[in-house]
Amino acid sequence: MGALQSLSDEPEYRELAEKTGFSFEQIGILHKRFKQLSHNEDMLRRADLDTIPDLACNPIRTQIIEAFFDKRNFHQNGDGTVEEISFEEFLVVMSHFRPPALNMTEEQREKVRREKLRFLFNMHDTDNDGTITLEEYRHVVEELLSRSGALGKETAKGIADAAMLEVASISMGHMEPDEFYEGITFEHFLKILKDIEIETKMNIRFLNMDTTTLCNRDSSSIR
């Protein structure tokens, strides 16, 4: 049943492949997974993602799930959130985790880096005003430390404040005592994280190779 459906999606796959850069097999596998998660429907909801058991012990799962329903990650200059997503949007979000190709020029690398950091930025900037305010940053750190109990709350604030101060110092250099640093803009964000080399780190290996972990009975039919 899945086989017939995927054969008829062939032209769609081509379009998706062009748009996101995945190969056909990768798209096929992800489609399988999408169907698995959405119980064979066309649209995926938050509740579907919530049911994944492994995700339960992840401290930032709410943010991760939100990222899938965030229009800013769909590359369509949209805004706000949606309630359910189609396979195409699922793929676009996943494409942020594609590893960079081997022979890339510096500009292409820079572009990939910007894209990935944009994804991260969107995850932090929940109210979509283009800056990460102190409150939002505090929230991020709190979530990260959310499983360490009461000890976390107080220190989280301190850590977030220190981090914010660091960003401000690096980006602004010098501020008068009565000036106010609004929040981390995307450019500042790029600046402070430029040493991490995110294009080498933010990748999922799965999307690199053809694994046989799921539903490989039908993978041969996806051609």
Name the H helices within 69-133. Answer: 87-94, 106-124
Q: Tell me if 7 contacts another protein by CB under 8 A.
A: no
- Applying CB under 8 A, among 17, 43, 82, 163 the residue interacting with another protein is 163
Q: How far is the CB of 141 from another protein (least distance, A)?
A: 6
Nearer to another protein, 77 or 180 (CB): 180
Nearer to another protein, 13 or 68 (CB): 68
CA distances from 158 to 8, 9, 62, 141, 192 (A): 55, 52, 23, 10, 19
C-alpha torsion 47→52→57→58, nearest 10: -70
Q: Of 161, 167, 173, give the one whose Cα is nearest residue 191.
A: 167
| Crossing angle (nearest 10°) for helices 106-124 and 134-144 | 90
Nearer to another protein, 71 or 124 (CB): 124
Nearer to another protein, 4 or 102 (CB): 102
Amino acid occupying residue 215: C
Cα–Cα dist 76/80, whole Å: 12
Residues 29-88 binding another protein (CB under 8 A) are 30, 33, 36-37, 49, 52, 54-55, 57-61, 64, 68
Q: Of 132, 122, 130, give the one whose Cα is nearest residue 183.
A: 132
Q: Tell me if 28 contacts another protein by CB under 8 A.
A: no
Q: Tell me if 130 contacts another protein by CB under 8 A.
A: no
- Applying CB under 8 A, among 8, 213, 217, 220 the residue interacting with another protein is 213
Q: Tell me if 190 contacts another protein by CB under 8 A.
A: no
Nearer to another protein, 6 or 77 (CB): 6
Q: Tell me if 150 contacts another protein by CB under 8 A.
A: no
- Applying CB under 8 A, among 177, 187, 217, 220 the residue interacting with another protein is 177
Cα–Cα dist 106/200, whole Å: 14
Nearer to another protein, 174 or 217 (CB): 174
The full length of the chain comes to 223
Binding-site size, another protein (CB under 8 A): 73
Q: Tell me if 107 contacts another protein by CB under 8 A.
A: no
